[in-house]
Structure 1
Amino acid sequence: MKYIIAIIGLLVVFALAFVASTNRKKIKTKPIILMVVIQVLLAFLLLNTKFGLVLIKGIADVFGKILEYAATGISFVFGGLANEGQMPFFLNVLLPIVFISVLIGIFQHLKILPFIMKAIGLLLSKINGMGKLESYNAVASAMVGQSEVFITVKKQLGQLPPHRLYTLCASAMSTVSMSIVGAYMTMIEPRYVVTALVINLFGGFIISSIINPYTVEENEDILVIQDEEKQTFFEMIGEYILDGFKVAIIVGAMLIGFVALMAAVNNVFDLIFGISFQEILGYIFAPVAFIMGVPMAEAVQAGGIMATKLVTNEFVAMIDLTKVQEEFSARTLGIISVFLVSFANFSSIGIIAGAVKGLNEKQGNTVAKFGLKLLYGATLVSVLSAVIVSVVL
């Protein structure tokens, strides 16, 4: 039965993408089918094989050690603010972003990350049938962040037509950056975080290939990566420390606002209608949860968490998931966890449009115009990833 529902889920996702397509005649089915097969194989490898379990355990252990190192610095500065054995969310989940940001900066400075991003991007371009620039951008988004990635291709931003710019922005919204992966792993199982990271990469290409199909000519497909300004090692360290702290503060501020707002809206709806706003959203998103493989008995509650992610952000939704995870079956928990690992939410439209506008005002305005379409496509990527995972769980 789960395979039948998964096939229905795939058909629904592809149909919804097809409806929004800008040029249906240019859709190439062969790369799409190939990437779906790759997604299924990767999901099976990561979740159902000994090699995958060992690999994910290794990645989780690395991030666990990183979080331990980060805790040393956090304890030195904030020690005594929390009771023994207890750590507030900000200290335990958000502040480690500062240390992870430093590590990313070091690998960037040593030219290790740019080499990896370019190599993987070139390899992906052979599979997805899209341009080298688009493929590089998708990998870079997952490593350096959805706003920072545009700095590395700022030389070409002004030259890009709207359809190629859409694909770059879609990749940035469909993935998550390495700097906050450690934070996710404190809230949901690491194996689902890693799996989502990998298959979202291909999911972004699949949905973009349907919604926004085009062919890049060889003479247009020039991959030029903008080097960062020359800095000394310690200048770079200082910059990435501050950048990481800014991210932690911004996420913390958004959580305060969104969690408080959601509590207020839920209470108002409950007083007026006798049902919370999240429960209403749950009923709306329940059919989507069902085609993702969630049993109907759990679909409404799962739909509420999915909708929370869309209207607020993935952190708020993950917090909600941790509160009710005991009420879900292991399979549902895995499907919803994979769905949550992406930047597909309304606030990302402003973040991406602002990042591009800071580098090129005209292109930033272009991004703002197709902002809702970006969110629509990125949400379909999350649904697609969840459907793929439902096949192997």
Structure 2
Amino acid sequence: MRILIALLGVLVVFALAYLGSNNRKKIRYRPIAVMIGLQVILSFIFLNTPVGEAIIKAISFVFDNLMNYAGQGVDFVFGGMANEGKAPFFLTVLLPIVVISSIIGILQYTKILPFIIKYIGLILSKVNGMGRLESYNGVASAILGQSEVFISVKNQLEYLPKYRLYTLCASAMSTVSMSIVGSYMELLDPKYVVTALILNLFGGFIIASILNPYTVNEEEYELQAEEEEGEKQSFFEMLGEYIMDGFKVAITVGAMLIGFVALIAIVNGIFKGIIGISFQQLLGYVFSPIAFIMGVPWGDLVHAGSLMATKMVTNEFVAMTDLSSQNPMSVRATGIVSVFLVSFANFSSIGIITGAVKGLHEKKGNEVASFGLKLLYGATLVSILSATIAGLFI
């Protein structure tokens, strides 16, 4: 039964992507089949084998230590502000982003990250049948983040046609930034976070290959990663910039959480007063059919649907905190929903990505704005696909 529901889920995702495709005749099915196969294999490895468990433990160990080290800096500045035994979300979950961001900056400055991103992207391009730039961007998005990644390809933006720009933006919305992975692991089981990161990388290419198929002339669009002369920063200039960038992300996420959580509480109160159920419960009924095709057990459908809708309407942090604080679901439902939540697929991301591109190239930013809703549509399908595949092994 579990396999049949998963097959149904994959077919529904493919059908929805096919309906939204801008050129169905150019869809190449062989790379899509290969990537689906890789998703299934990787899900099995990460969720059901000792090797996968060891990898996840190693990654979790790294981030646990980073969060602990970050806590020393947070305690130095904010020590004594928290009540004894309490763990304020901003101090323990968001502020460590500052430290992880600085480490990413160091790896970027020393050319370690660009090397890794470039060659993993090159290998991926052989698998996904897409251009090197798209493959590079997919890996870079999962490390640098949905706005910062466009700085690394700013030399190409001016020359990119609209269809290639869509794929780059879709990758950025389908993944998450490595700087906030540690924060996710504070709220979700690390194995679901790591699994989602890998599945979303391939899922982004799969859905883009159906929604937005095309062939690339690599000679026309060479990947340029060199820095412009005169822009080389000193080490401490770079470090200060990345620290401030991390702090801005923490503050931004914190501000959005304050606003969104309060607004949801207001809307929930209004709906309860009028129709007797909260707005989130209502959305839960709307999204429950999607939760069903992902493999969520019958008794958890409404709760799961509510969390999925909350993530789309607000952001993943709001939904993750709800998942960890509300009435618990079954282990299977929690795992599937956790995988779904690990992405930037929400309405606010349309503005973030549009603003990031517009800051680098006005005209291209306007192009991104024109297909913003289609970006969210594709990125949501990626999340559904990843959760469905992972559900086979949870």
- Give the TM-score range, shorter chain: over 0.9
Q: Does the 8 Å CA contact 1:26/1:214 hold for their aligned counterparts?
A: yes
C-alpha root-mean-square deviation of aligned residues, in Å? 0.9
- Superposed, 1:235-384 pairs within 5 Å as 235-324=237-326, 326=328, 328-384=329-385
The DSSP-based 3-state class of the residue aligned with 2:187 is: coil
The DSSP-based 3-state class of the residue aligned with 1:219 is: coil
One-letter amino acid of the structure 1 residue matched with residue 44 of structure 2: F
Q: Does the 8 Å CA contact 1:151/1:226 hold for their aligned counterparts?
A: no
Determine the C-alpha separation between the residues in 2 that align with 1:104 and 1:187: 22
Q: Does the 8 Å CA contact 2:294/2:391 hold for their aligned counterparts?
A: yes
Determine the C-alpha separation between the residues in 1 that align with 2:42 and 2:65: 26
Q: Does the 8 Å CA contact 2:297/2:332 hold for their aligned counterparts?
A: no
Q: CA deviation at 1:233?
A: 1.1
Q: CA deviation at 1:217?
A: 1.7
The DSSP-based 3-state class of the residue aligned with 1:167 is: helix
Determine the C-alpha separation between the residues in 2 that align with 1:139 and 1:226: 17
One-letter amino acid of the structure 2 residue matched with residue 87 of structure 1: A
User: Is residue 2:89 matched to residue 1:93?
Assistant: no
Determine the C-alpha separation between the residues in 2 that align with 1:143 and 1:297: 36
One-letter amino acid of the structure 2 residue matched with residue 206 of structure 1: I
The DSSP-based 3-state class of the residue aligned with 1:220 is: coil
Q: CA deviation at 1:220?
A: 2.5
User: Which stretch shows the higher mean deviation, 270-279 or 204-213?
Assistant: 270-279
Q: CA deviation at 1:266?
A: 0.5
Q: CA deviation at 1:191?
A: 0.5
- CA shift in 2, pair 1:50/1:267, >3 Å: same
The DSSP-based 3-state class of the residue aligned with 2:326 is: helix
User: Is residue 2:8 matched to residue 1:8?
Assistant: yes
Q: CA deviation at 1:5?
A: 0.3
One-letter amino acid of the structure 1 residue matched with residue 68 of structure 2: E
- Superposed, 1:1-393 pairs within 5 Å as 1-227=1-227, 229-324=231-326, 326=328, 328-393=329-394
Determine the C-alpha separation between the residues in 2 that align with 1:218 and 1:272: 58
Q: Does the 8 Å CA contact 1:154/1:226 hold for their aligned counterparts?
A: no
Determine the C-alpha separation between the residues in 2 that align with 1:220 and 1:324: 52
The DSSP-based 3-state class of the residue aligned with 1:39 is: helix
One-letter amino acid of the structure 2 residue matched with residue 344 of structure 1: A
Determine the C-alpha separation between the residues in 2 that align with 1:168 and 1:56: 28
One-letter amino acid of the structure 2 residue matched with residue 43 of structure 1: S
- CA shift in 2, pair 1:226/1:311, >3 Å: farther
How does the TM-score come out when normalised to structure 1? 0.99
Determine the C-alpha separation between the residues in 2 that align with 1:29 and 1:220: 25
The DSSP-based 3-state class of the residue aligned with 1:176 is: coil
Q: CA deviation at 1:209?
A: 0.2
Q: CA deviation at 1:222?
A: 1.2
Determine the C-alpha separation between the residues in 2 that align with 1:127 and 1:279: 41
Q: CA deviation at 1:87?
A: 2.1
Deviations 1:12-37 (A, max 9, x none): 00000000000000000000000000
Q: Does the 8 Å CA contact 2:132/2:218 hold for their aligned counterparts?
A: no
One-letter amino acid of the structure 1 residue matched with residue 67 of structure 2: L
Determine the C-alpha separation between the residues in 2 that align with 1:149 and 1:84: 40
One-letter amino acid of the structure 2 residue matched with residue 253 of structure 1: A
The DSSP-based 3-state class of the residue aligned with 2:107 is: helix
Q: CA deviation at 1:226?
A: 4.8
The DSSP-based 3-state class of the residue aligned with 2:188 is: coil
Q: CA deviation at 1:325?
A: 5.4
Q: CA deviation at 1:235?
A: 1.1
Q: CA deviation at 1:225?
A: 1.8
Q: CA deviation at 1:227?
A: 2.7
Q: CA deviation at 1:84?
A: 2.6
User: Between the two proteins, what is the percent identity of the paired residues?
Assistant: 67
Determine the C-alpha separation between the residues in 2 that align with 1:342 and 1:48: 23
Determine the C-alpha separation between the residues in 1 that align with 2:129 and 2:221: 12
Q: How many residues align?
A: 392
Q: CA deviation at 1:391?
A: 1.1
One-letter amino acid of the structure 2 residue matched with residue 392 of structure 1: F
Determine the C-alpha separation between the residues in 2 that align with 1:325 and 1:166: 39
The DSSP-based 3-state class of the residue aligned with 1:80 is: coil
Q: CA deviation at 1:7?
A: 0.4
Determine the C-alpha separation between the residues in 1 that align with 2:169 and 2:186: 28
Q: Does the 8 Å CA contact 1:155/1:226 hold for their aligned counterparts?
A: no
Q: Does the 8 Å CA contact 1:153/1:226 hold for their aligned counterparts?
A: no
- CA shift in 2, pair 1:315/1:194, >3 Å: same
Q: Does the 8 Å CA contact 1:152/1:227 hold for their aligned counterparts?
A: no
Determine the C-alpha separation between the residues in 2 that align with 1:29 and 1:237: 44
How does the TM-score come out when normalised to structure 2? 0.98
- CA shift in 2, pair 1:362/1:389, >3 Å: same
Moved over 4 A (4+): none
